[in-house]
A and B are shown apart, each in its own frame.
Chain A
Amino acid sequence: MAAPMLRLCCPGRRWALACIDGCSRHRRGAPNGCTSSRKRGQSSVAQQPFITAQKPRKGEHEWAAVVGLEIHAQISSKSKLFSGSQVHFAAPPNSLVSFFDASLPGTLPVLNRRCVEAAVMTGLALNCRINKKSLFDRKHYFYADLPAGYQITQQRLPIAVNGSLVYSFCAGKNRSQVINKTARVKQIQLEQDSGKSLHDDLRSQTLIDLNRAGVGLLEVVLEPDMSCGEEAATAVRELQLILQALGTSQANMADYEIQRQINELENGGEILNETRSFDSKLGCTIPMRDKEGKQDYRFMPEPNLPPLLLYDTESLPAGADPQQVIDIDRIREQLPELPSVTREKLVQQYGMLPEHSFTLLNEVGLLEFFQNVMKETRAEPKKVTSWVLNTLLGFLKQQNLAVSESPVTPSALAELLNLLDRKAISSSAAKQVFEELWRNEGKTPAQIVSEKKLELMQDQEALEQLCHAVMEGHPQVVMDVKKGNPRAINKLIGLVRKVTLSRADPTVIKEILEKKLAS
């Protein structure tokens, strides 16, 4: 089974604010504040607005946020959850729409095996209990990009429940202390994505693209165990990693949303349970859709889909058609290494700092890049880490490129680091070579080194002559050194390097200069 089955799409978030009572360690003010503490967020299926038991007056006390999340991860599968239409990003509008997706009357859903496997795999990775029997339900609401008038989801009995997501972040002065936190996973459910509405305000038209309608989603519901946007963002990032995801997440949405809810509550408003999306242009979250005021989804069992039954090795019926059954134990065996384990291994194997292991994993493809460089170079892991995390990543970030788009291949970097390792070039020359490689003109590091004459000057005599010439040319600096200015020698070193076109090892230059100055 291909490991990267899942990709995260716009996370819908669920927020709840708990007013913490007076004895709480969170207390920072008012002694007799609101005493209701509601830490449990609304479930994914909740329809009621979240209202605290007692509305506080403005400024009377402070609020502590609890953050729960509903994350919708688009399942990467060839076809949709209940139809044979292909799943492709950026296909021409309405080109991937089956009769079922367009809700033609008489069409029926047929469950996609791959999507079920993806859900089971995710459930296992998140330490969930996999329900051997799960059910599908219809969730009704009218919206132009929901052709059937309902979404098929798993409200009553989802495929996986009661898991946990362990996420860690680096804290402390040098970000060297790793802190582990756990968010409970309430449930994971399979459901359909909706289509897209494109509003043409000019002509007051709405255009509907159903390519996405019916694509399989995993809704991962995290209990409100996170206390700030950063925690939530870290948890989402960790989940993304676990899902071998592609997209990026908008961490700044988190704090904005908490503030919005605080303002709302302090102004006497009520927080409605709604899906909001982050608008990066406006810098705020906006309601994703008008869910018809007080929404009642009128849930109903989906009559066209029998209960979804899963098996383990023990319960697998004898002679069952392997195409018709899903064996949880088999999927468990195929689980790939999870990011926490990978990070642990990196620290163990390469003596890497924990924070570096995080960075390597956080960028998609970066770890693989690192490992490929490691395979081909004799350079120290520390050196490789530094080059990958500082130089390569810096260049990528600057140009806003993904690792896969890097013009410098792992082999090229490995070769470059080999040259450096055997002291054929200086570090600064290496940087220069890297820049050349980045321009991607099809040259190998060795070619660049020889063309640009970047080899380290091995000729001691020639170097001594150059040093001599520099000293001759800058008597004032020499005087400064002799007067005891310790920094002046650096200036001389720099001048020598300049005339050597940075090809000489600064330590060697220093040695020569010191010798000469002492004489």
Chain B
Amino acid sequence: MAAEASSAVGSSASSAGGFAPFLVDSLFQRSLDDMIKALRSAPGGESSLIHRLLAEIRREIRSTDSDTKFLALQKLTYLSSLYFLDMSWAAFHALELLPSSVPAFKRTAYLSASLSFHPSSTDLLPLATHQIRKDLQSPNPSLSSPALHLLALSSSPDLALHLSNDLLSLLSSPRAAVHVRCRAVITSLPVLRLTPDSARAFLPKLVEALSPSSPLLSAAAGIFCELVCSGDPRPYLPLAPDFHQVLLECRNNWILIKILKIFARLLVLEPRLKRKLVDPICELMRRSPAKSLVFECLRVVFCSFPDEETAFQLAVEKVKEFVAADDDPNLRFLGLHALAMLGPGQSWAVEENREAIVKSLADPDPNIRHEALRLIMNMVFENNVVEISSLLINYALRSDPEFSNEILDAILVTCSRNFYELVLDFDWYVSLLAEMVRNPHFMKGEEVERQLIDIGLRVKEARSELIRVARVLLIDPALLANQFLHRVLSAAAWISGEYIQFSRNPLEIVEALLQPRTSLLPSPVRAVYIQAVFKIFTFCFNFFVNVGAVSDSKCNTDENTGAESEDSSDVTTFKMESLEMKELLTSKSIIYILNLIVTSLVPLSECDEVEVQERACNVLGLVLLLNGIEEWKTDDVDWRIDGKIREIVTVMSAAFSEELGPVSIHAQKRVLVPEGLELKENLSDLDVILRNNDVPSSLSISFSSRIHSHNEDMEESEPATESTSLLAEHRKQHGLYYLPTDKDENGSNEYPRANDVTNSVSSEKTTNDLLKLTDQSLISRSTKPAKPRPTVVKLDEGVDLPSSSSEYVKEPTGDLLSGAVRDVLFRSDETSSTIQKTLSENFTERRAKETSTISNVDSLLKDNSSPREREIGSSSSRKNKHHGQSKERNKNTRKNETKEEKGNRSSARSSHHHGRHKLKQRVESGDPSLDKAPQTQAIQDFLL
């Protein structure tokens, strides 16, 4: 380094003697080692030091002396790659060093460029084109391989297009070192991606490299794996025989793993490949000492052929070794991971490892615990959900906070899946939720809140248990201090208000809801508490007035209730309880509640939080109203029959009597758009209108609104008319964007109400529809007599989920590259010659044509029928074509083709004419579901 520096000084001094700054620069330039040492000794003040260093580098890198520039670039590269500094400003200086004849300079320049260049961060890449080409053509691998790196990592479509021919000649040149050709194979992947239509030229070379004896095999396997796994695998099906050959003959684990990955993808498309693969894969599993390879085999067997008995047995044996590897957490993790791939049909294999899995719940590694938990949750079915859940809940008590919540979450998710399909006994589930809350690490308040309310809405039979659970939760004053439970308590309060009729002792709940420690709750929850008090009190008072009166004249009630109610068992329990309740809800106890409410809510009527304040005031309003009436406090019975009190009670209970139900996620969609409302009309002219009027109108509006707020107290009507006049003016100008009013002028000073019952018949209709829907789902559930499971109200059954359809749509579309590859590998050679020609043509012309060829590929992609028809249609013309192609095709593919011909002939012999004809017809009619057909044909020979 020192020698270099001194020579640099000499040269710069002699060549540019007048430029003293450069001399000083190179004399006192910090070396890379100096810089690193300085950074090491200043760990605290790094940022100021880096700032200083950068300033130095900025100065040095502009030097005309290449040594100085080189050192500066080296330092900058170091800093930018480790300290996240932007070095795009120095891109030009890196390019300046690329043509240097000093290997070290060149290497540093390439490294710096490949670390920092990207088409999105620099537009200087085209400047490097010439130099990269020169280096690619160099016979010296130490020049060509960094150039390939840069091309692979930072290429832009332009660069790829310009250099693809050089890359191609490097690929095929026998003179180039294997080392370089290997890299050229890898580099062809990004080039292919950027210029899909170069596939025609590249693919034959890449396929050639796929032979087991090729020195380029590892690179070729790598890029085919990448191509098959990241895009559409269908175009690569014809290569299955080549991959198979590699699988049989290759002994390199890295390559075998890649090949197995490729087959895993292809098996999805062509399950018949299985027959060819089972034996080699079993062989690998038995023989290979490499765990990585065995694991890859396991993955293929588990995912792709769980029905092959011997292979599956073998895989299960192997996975047991993984899961039981006590000394290696990696193998344990992967073993569990592999088991999780198994479907429900193979759950016996999971069951066999049950002990190890349960043991893994206590593993020191959270990732392993997580996998084990996932596996256990996959094994949960209707018959064991109770057992497993209680086991896990107990286990959660003993584990660390994070994992314990993970367990709770898993239980919540599994049990609530698909409208609680696993839960047969909701009383059990509700009490399970309550038990969960007692976990000291509990943090899943939101989800438990949601589920408690959801069950309340959907499952009528669970409501009495919900009330019981809610009571227990509400009464415990200790729970109020735990902030994670507030959401749960909110749900409990809501349930207690909504389903209070199932409670044995409403008084107790009111007391719980009004206990002093509720001041610990956040105000939204408090608001729910107060609302619950409101509902419970209304219920109690209603009961006190009505049921008390009714049970006085017993014979009357029996007739009435018997006629009205649908459920007889309900009535008997109700009667039993009503006797109890009657004793509970005397005028004395009602007065007690009234007083309790007044003492605890009066302070809240001046609360800061509007929600709390408003609700407190509502309750107090009712209480004061009732307090003002003296007659019900006496023992006199007459007031119950009629009078003011009865009126109030009827009104109040009517307010809460309607049952709340679940809302379908598609409810909004079912609301019909009112006639005359244009939702999809183009609003582009709105811009023009706004531009004209925006400034004055907004001014006047803001002005008037200020007046409005100012005058509000004194006069209410005047500002209103002012703003309505403005509004009317606006409406006159832009009537188009206003909803039509059926009441004219005099009604126009009111906004149309959001859902006006009077003028929208449609909304009524939709609610009817909704009701019908719930009825339907109720019926369909209740027709299963075998299960005593309570009904869960579902609203979204039978509605097509969008995901399934989108998946379907996705299939036929592919990326440009796979389209091009399909084009090549399925031998649709119509356009091949033209593309070949265009490739060798002048680049400028080429670019102009680019769009057209892309659309060409695109159309090929869409039109699957063309290669197929040719293949089926004329075997004689095929032969001719083979002769024509054989020059550019390599031996390997030729072998394939002859094989294929044989296959074709044999299938012809077995006279599938009829079927084929039908197929062809369907293809012609453009049936997308038959997309697979060409491939099955193409590798038929291989499968037979």
Are A and B genuine complex partners?
A: no
Residues of B within 8 A of A (CB): none
